Structure 1
Amino acid sequence: MPIAARTFRTYVEENLDALSADPAREALVHQGRRVTAGELRSLIHRLARALRARGVDRGATVTLLSGNLPETLAARYAANLIGARVNHLYNKLSAESQAAIVRDVETRALIVDPRYAERAAEVTELAPVPDVLTLGPAKTGADLLELAAGQSDEPFASRARPGDVCTIRHTGGTTGHPKGICTTFEQARWFHGVLPQQPEFERRQLVCTTLAHAAGAMADRTLHVGGTIVLLDDFEPGTVLATLARERISELFLLPPLLYQLMDHPDAPHTDTSSLRMLTYGGCQASPARIADAVRMFGPVLMQGYGQNEAGGISVLTQEDHDPQRPDRLRSAGKVLSDVEVEIRDESGRPLPAGEHGEVCVRSAMIMKGYWKQPELTAEVLRDGWLHTGDIGFLDDEGYLTIVDRLKDMIVVVGGHVYTTELEDLLNSHPQVLQSAVFGVRDADRMERVHAVVVRAPGSEVDGEQLRAKVRAERGAMYEPHRITFVEALPLTDVGKPDKKELRRQAEQEAGTLA
């Protein structure tokens, strides 16, 4: 049931309460700086007043162009406290892509990490905004921290309403033009309560992926329960391992490709990771063989979360479900969350029984309000209260959900279709393969051909014909890749997913060169 406006409290207000409960505790750590809960709370209220003094009000859009600074988190909270909607740009997008988003969301104020001042100048030249503010001294814009220092840190009353847009989060754009996904303040509150309750332990979360993605929402939850967030500017496996040991980290989120890099780093076997209580992974398909290796390395601490920006959380594979002897279970995305409904439907919208493949459709309180300024696309994916995720999957007899592909990634070939994740799982099960990415490329006759890009284990001599033979023997000729390319590492998107759009572009370019 919707929460009445007069009793409604945003996630920011609830987290401010948590910060007030123990103001002396350590809340944020970044490059040797240690910020207390009281200091963070004070900064949020000062920033809210400074933004309000610059004319930012409820219903305006604040866009962040910033790395993993403590001030980044504080600025998001301050903008949401005012009732403004927040868009956080992925830093590794091109200036043109960032400018298109800045323009699209009608940015009122662009808040910039001083380290990105030059990029901000490029972006605002392409997409001018009324106000550019920086999180510290820079040549571009006014220093928001200096402005905030002159403001009171008395509590700033929230101006947000339950149905107001809290965030506009753009998809990564790996399968097409990024779309702005609108989430309301009421929906943002639900995130704290949908994940299974964890045993009590000292919460120390390491954020080594962008705060613009899932790690940012998890950081909100950590602050909500009185924990500490340790911020790294980017993912570097050696630095992550050292930080895990030094800071006694209990929680970590990684996309599977980054988890594999952590496991493969030469320091991993010698690093003390005994403080870890929950290593969450998700965001793209994982290899059951590699996840089993991770359980053996880190212990029974792995948890997989499956969800979408459009849908929020959908299912969880708990620590107890991570049995290295059950690759079928590790291939699944776990059980559907208690406050979420899932149906597997065929092309006509008919619900399918257990075991049959179809589109994953979801209904819950966390489903997005819609795509920003795209009513037709919103109507296409939101029908009768159900979100059509675009993922293909199935539910088994025990209620475990398995995702087998994206509708857009499924490759249509002569005789049927190839599910890319099933082929990736098969290739990854070879003992000399670390990782793979499978995608379709059209040839000169407009027929789709199966392409695979493979990362071999160090010292491996496995070749394309050996892998094709394995695929033929276990899945049949239809799944056999037309082309296998070996690389040192897969290109990744800003959030850490294999960049299949870039791989497809490279393959098409090579095909054109060879033609």
Structure 2
Amino acid sequence: MTATAQQFRTYVERNLDILGADPARTAVVHHDRRVTAGELRDLVHRMARALRARGVERGQVVTLLSGNLPETIAARYAANLIGCAVNHLYNKLSADVQATIMRDVETRALIADPAYAGRAAELAELTGVEDVLLLGPGTVGADLLELSAGQPAEPLSGLARPEDICMIRHTGGTTGHPKAICTAFERLPGFQDDVDEILEPEGKADDGMRQLVCTTLAHAAGLLADVTLRTDGGTVVLLDDFDAAEALAAIERERITHMFLLPPLLYQLMDHPDVDGTDTSSLRNVTYGGCQSSPARLASAVRRFGHVLTQFYGQNEAGGISVLSPEDHNPDDPSRLRTAGKAMNGVEIAIRDESGRDLPAGEHGEVCVRSEHIMTGYWKQPELTAEVLRDGWLHTGDIGFLDDEGYLTIVDRIKDMIVVVGGHVYTTELEDLLNTHPEVLQSAVFGVPDANRMEHVYAAVVRAPGSELDEKELRELVRDERGAMYEPAHVSFIDALPLTDAGKPDKKFLRREAEAAAETR
């Protein structure tokens, strides 16, 4: 082992040091439970020893299938501490997709929430995984908490080396074959520095941070929890899932200072009848991102919550890319709210055409990124890795442009762009227009092919309560403002947008529903 590897300390070891420095402070809140920093630290060390006793070794993959529990954080830390890669599944994927992911990354052990014991048993049968461990008593496998209780809590030195894979995240999975995105331990500090910059652009994240986690720990909330726990006095407040009423109550009850929401969830929070009667004055930072947002709704959010909004644009492959700061959230400047902000520290952004040529300000092309913390690559897919990682630049698959001041605007995913007769329809531009209608709360635009594989523009719209807005009025709005090319062939009105497990609008589901309906017409 090299001297560098011997000196290397993972994010887990650094976080455990901070937890150990003030063991009596409350580190995690879940329902009526309050877990101290010392209790969490001890559980990590006990779990790590229990995993090793089961034969789990450095370099192997541990898959997590769990809700937002304190033990979920401890299990990830324990697996990473002994040098394992952690593959955190989205809970709402089908068993077949979850099994495919587990097989792809050669899962050595499955750690599951007792609430998912039935699914864990199904996955064990489908994959032949060697070890199933539950975070409590259950009907399958062994109880990891019971095994851990018999282990000592003395600190355990981390076994990971800088180049080892720390985390595996998957893109896709609703349809098609998911891609496993690998990040090495040595690159994870860059991810966490990104989060620091988001939460506190001027420097270190605030001490005394109280982070509300109301989206899955398998997504961005997991990294936000890590940064919170490494701040002095930081506390993570866990909700099982997003519920606007529960989130508002938690903000007031727990004096929440920071939270992360995907835009559709932010809108649900704003639209809830309890919002005006809730004390949200403790909020210092509301980070949003993960999918396109509506400038009109963001302006309303600023007027309601104050200048606390921060937009984050990034990818699992790239880490953080750009940030739109609270100062840039001017409700009277919707053009700025349409952007994804400026490049983060240490990140280079280039807009390139299909031949790889850099494009000037204002021209649409693929967003390409270079930084020290882009992914290692896709799990055992060198050819696919080579497609997106070229000469140190990550090709994001997003279409966007930079303006003269360096602000980045994302207009679409390359795969979501709708090719119609006469040109291209950028879905986010059409969604922005639809959302300007005072009776539209949310919209999702997507392409649906006909029998000849020609794509047509479809829109799913959530109307304001009591609205009688019809398809004809929206189509006329689009035709007048953007022309016939952007006019939807069909507009459906729905009560709420379907969301993926991560909280993004599920356009694949909407497309399948539209295709099925078209076949019956």
- Asked if these proteins are the same fold (TM beyond 0.5), I'd say yes
Residue 340 of structure 1 aligns with which residue? 347
**What is the letter of the counterpart of residue 215 of structure 2?**
T
The answer to whether structure 1 residue 435 and structure 2 residue 435 are counterparts is no
1-structure distance, mates of 2:70, 2:172: 24
Matched ranges for 1:88-487 at <5 A? 88-173=88-173, 176-194=176-194, 195=197, 196=201, 197=203, 200=206, 202-226=208-232, 227-487=234-494
Over 3 Å counting, the alpha-carbon distance change for 1:116 and 1:3 in structure 2 is farther
Equivalenced residue count is: 513
- The offset of 1:218, in angstroms, is 0.7
Give per-residue Cα distances to partners, 1:266-317, cap 9 Å, x unaligned.
1011100000000000000000000111111111100010000000000000
- Structure 1 position 175, deviation (Å): 6.7
SS of aligned partner of 1:427? helix
In structure 1, how many angstroms separate the alpha carbons of the residues matched to 2:253 and 2:3? 42
Contact preservation (8 Å) 2:93, 2:174: no
Query: How far, CA to CA, are the matches of 1:199 and 1:206 in structure 2?
Result: 15
Aligned pair in 2 of structure 1 residues 151, 36: CA closer, same or farther (>3 Å)?
same
Q: CA deviation at 1:324?
A: 0.3
Contact 2:68 2:240 in 1 (8 A): yes
- Say if 1:174 and 1:500, in contact at 8 Å, map to a contact too: no
Q: Contact 1:435–1:455 at 8 Å: present in 2 too?
A: yes
Aligned equivalent of 2:65: 65
Separation in 1, partners of 2:326, 2:52: 44
C-alpha distance in 2 between matches for 1:381 and 1:289:
34
Q: Sort the Cα spacing of 1:103 and 1:359 in 2 relative to 1 into closer, same or farther, 3 A.
A: same
Q: Is residue 306–residue 316 contact of structure 1 (8 Å, CA) maintained in 2?
A: yes
Alpha-carbon distance in 2 for matches of 1:65, 1:478: 44
Distance 1:408 1:161 in 2: 37
The answer to whether the 8 A contact 1:166-1:182 is kept is yes
Q: Deviations over 1:362-415 (max 9, x none)?
A: 011111111112111111111111100000001111111110000000001111
Q: Partners of 2:27 and 2:436 in 1: how far apart?
A: 41
What's the offset of the Cα at 1:4?
A: 3.0
Separation in 1, partners of 2:505, 2:480 = 27
Return the letter of the residue paired with 2:488. P
Distance (whole Å) between structure 2 residues aligned to residue 446 and residue 304 of structure 1: 36
SS of structure 1 residue aligned to 2:6: coil
Partner SS, residue 181 of structure 1: strand
The Cα offsets for residues 457-511 of structure 1, whole Å up to 9 and x where unpaired, read as 1111111111111111111111000100000011100010000000000011011
CA contact (8 A) 1:3 1:162 kept: no
Counterpart CA distance in 1 for 2:51 and 2:175 is 36
Deviation of residue 199 (structure 1)? Answer: 6.7
SS at match of 1:45: helix
Preserved CA contact (<8 Å) 1:8 1:162: yes
Task: Report if aligned partners of 1:180, 1:371 keep a CA contact under 8 Å in 2.
Answer: yes
State the 1:191 CA deviation.
Answer: 2.0
Preserved CA contact (<8 Å) 2:462 2:497: yes
Does the aligned pair in 2 maintain the 1:175–1:408 contact within 8 Å? no
d(CA) in 2 for partners of 1:46, 1:311: 33
Which has the higher mean CA deviation after the structures are superposed, 271-280 or 97-106?
A: 97-106
Tell me how far 1:172 sits from its aligned partner. Answer: 4.1
Q: Deviations over 1:115-169 (max 9, x none)?
A: 1001111111111111111111101111111111111111111010111000111
Q: What one-letter code is carried by the residue in structure 1 that aligns with 2:108?
A: R
Alpha-carbon distance in structure 1 between the residues aligned to 2:469 and 2:321: 38
Shift of residue 176, structure 1, vs aligned partner: 4.0
Letter in 2 for 1:82: I
Tell me the alpha carbon deviations over residues 425-456 of structure 1, each in whole angstroms, 9 at most, x when there is no partner.
Answer: 00001000000000001111221100000000
Match of 1:489 in 2: 496
Work out the CA distance in 2 between the residues paired with 1:385 and 1:150: 47
Deviation at 1:198, TM superposition (A): 5.9
User: Do 1:172 and 1:493's aligned partners in 2 also have CA atoms closer than 8 Å?
Assistant: no
For 1:378 and 1:189, locate their aligned partners in 2 and report how far apart those are by CA, in whole Å: 22
| Identical amino acids, percent of aligned pairs | 73
The answer on whether the counterparts of 1:411 and 1:450 sit within 8 Å (CA) in structure 2 is yes
In the aligned structure 2, how far is the partner of 1:11 from the partner of 1:82?
12
- Look up the match of 1:54: 54
Instruction: Name 1:4's counterpart in structure 2.
Output: 4
Tell me how far apart the structure 2 counterparts of residues 51 and 175 of structure 1 sit (CA, whole Å): 33
* TM-superposed deviation, 1:190: 1.3
Residues 263/225 of structure 1: CA separation in 2 closer, same or farther (3 Å cut) = same
**CA deviation after TM superposition for structure 1 residue 86, in Å:** 0.3
1:361 partner letter: C
Secondary structure of the corresponding residue to residue 385 of structure 2: helix
Structure 1 counterpart of 2:507 = 500
CA contact (8 A) 2:97 2:173 kept: no
Q: How many angstroms apart in 2 are the aligned matches of 1:478 and 1:80? A: 51
Aligned amino acid, residue 72 of structure 2 = T
8 Å contact 1:439–1:451 — kept in the other structure? Answer: yes
Q: CA RMSD in A?
A: 1.2
Q: Point out 4+ residue stretches in structure 1 off by more than 6 angstroms.
A: none
Q: What residue ranges of structure 2 are gaps of 5+ in the alignment?
A: none
Structure 2 SS opposite 1:394: strand
TM-score, normalization: structure 2?
Answer: 0.97
Deviation for aligned residue 1:192: 2.5
Which whole-Å CA distance do the structure 2 matches of 1:212 and 1:201 have between them? 24
Counterpart secondary structure, 1:360: strand
Name the aligned partner's letter for residue 70 of structure 2: P
CA contact (8 A) 1:111 1:134 kept: yes
Q: Which residue of 2 aligns with 1:45?
A: 45
Using the size of structure 1 for normalisation, the TM-score is: 0.98
